[in-house]
Amino acid sequence: MRMNGLDLNLLIALHAILTERNISRAAERVFLSQPAMSNALARLREYFGDDLVVRSGRALILTSRAESLIVPVRDILMRIESTVAVAPTFDPAVSRRTFSLLVSDFTTTVFVQPLIERLYAIAPGIGFKLLTQEGSDPVERLEQGDADLLIVPEQYLAANHPSRRLFEETYVCVSWAGGSSPRQSLGFDDYLEAGHVVTQFGGGHVPAFDTWLMERFGVIRRTEVMAHTLTAPAQLVVGTNRIATVHRRLAERAARHLPLRIWPPPMEIPTLVECVQWNQARAEDPGLKWLVQMCCEVAQAI
């Protein structure tokens, strides 16, 4: 198909170039040889009358014209996919579609597991690809079409894409129940004096909870152990006098097989609201509509 002289097949190559900013990786992304991708770039440059990418050392830099094309090209391709490539009807009982979900380890543990269990009974051919939220901006990946659904706390949702609430979660503190003098109470002073096990994701940024604690009370925890997953802190207090502030559901799961005591936090912590979000360009995808509805139904039961 051509539009004003542009072969629309070239949009796929253009999207790959704009996303990867590397000819070799762009070629791999769309299963082309490097010479074929270079040829596509030459044709795109001729059409737009712009270099689109220029070399700076070993990197490729987008021109201002190329920068202006990122969002419209991405949206065009996603709309084509959702209206042409996706079947107009969806039968979960016979579908063999694989959905990709951007999730945390907390969400995987308390929500995705029962979701997959529920769907296996009614849609056994449906597959799932679980993508980590670490190392990149999850919303950006959703907008780029790398994932079908994003499951995140409400405060991290993108304002320009639809979403639905799934479930609420509260926080508790956990400590080791063993030792010669196990902890008998947990007041605010005890909380501040104790060493803490925290989750710290890639990049070495201060955990969001510590930022909130500092803004609310003017204090920050004494961090002694840093883990890279949300499920680890409850396990890592065992055998120590340290404490961890974790999701209630994770604490209750860990306490089933570890010697832990669960404490109400010595200060009021805002409730976490987990939500599911999808790209506006795929809002009419019948398969996604079905999956979102299933997510909401499963969330009511956990």
Mark whether 284 and 154 lie in a shared domain. yes
Look at residue 55 and tell me if it is in a domain.
yes
How does pLDDT run across 212-245, given as a tens digit for each residue?
A: 777 788 888 899 998 888 999 999 999 999 999 9
Mark whether 19 and 49 lie in a shared domain. yes
Per-residue pLDDT at 134 exceeds 80: no
pLDDT at 82: 64
Tokens representing 275 are 């939500």
Per-residue pLDDT at 35 exceeds 50: yes
Per-residue pLDDT at 171 exceeds 90: yes
Mark whether 143 and 289 lie in a shared domain. yes
Mark whether 15 and 81 lie in a shared domain. yes
How does pLDDT run across 242-294, given as a tens digit for each residue?
A: 999 999 999 999 999 999 999 999 988 889 999 999 998 888 889 999 999 99
Q: Which domain holds residue 245?
A: 171-270
pLDDT at 144: 78
Look at residue 92 and tell me if it is in a domain.
no
DSSP β-bridge partners for residue 165: 275
How does pLDDT run across 160-170, given as a tens digit for each residue?
A: 899 999 999 99
pLDDT at 204: 46
Say what the alpha-carbon torsion angle 281, 285, 289, 294 is, to the nearest 10 degrees. -110
pLDDT at 83: 64
Mark whether 195 and 255 lie in a shared domain. yes
Look at residue 288 and tell me if it is in a domain.
yes
Between these two residues, 73 and 183, which has the higher pLDDT value?
73
DSSP β-bridge partners for residue 195: 222
DSSP β-bridge partners for residue 260: 176
CATH number of the domain encompassing residue 149: 3.40.190.10
Say what the alpha-carbon torsion angle 253, 139, 55, 8 is, to the nearest 10 degrees. 120
DSSP assignments along the chain, one per residue: -EETTEETHHHHHHHHHHHH-SHHHHHHHTT--HHHHHHHHHHHHHHHTS-SEEEETTEEEE-HHHHHHHHHHHHHHHHHIIIIIS-SS--TTT---EEEEEE-HHHIIIIIHHHHHHHHHH-TT-EEEEEE-TTS-HHHHHHTTS-SEEEEEGGG--TTS-EEEEEEE-EEEEEES-SSS------HHHHHHSEEEEE--TT-PPPHHHHHHHHHHS---EEEEEESSSSSHHHHTTTSS-EEEEEHHHHHHHHTTS-EEEE--SS--PPEEEEEE--GGGTT-HHHHHHHHHHHHHHTT-
CATH number of the domain encompassing residue 64: 1.10.10.10
Look at residue 8 and tell me if it is in a domain.
yes
Residue with tokens 């000819």: 23
Count: domains in the chain? 3
Per-residue pLDDT at 207 exceeds 70: no
Between these two residues, 139 and 107, which has the higher pLDDT value?
107
Mark whether 134 and 53 lie in a shared domain. no
Look at residue 70 and tell me if it is in a domain.
yes
How does pLDDT run across 66-122, given as a tens digit for each residue?
A: 888 888 887 777 777 666 655 567 899 999 999 999 999 899 999 999 999 999 999
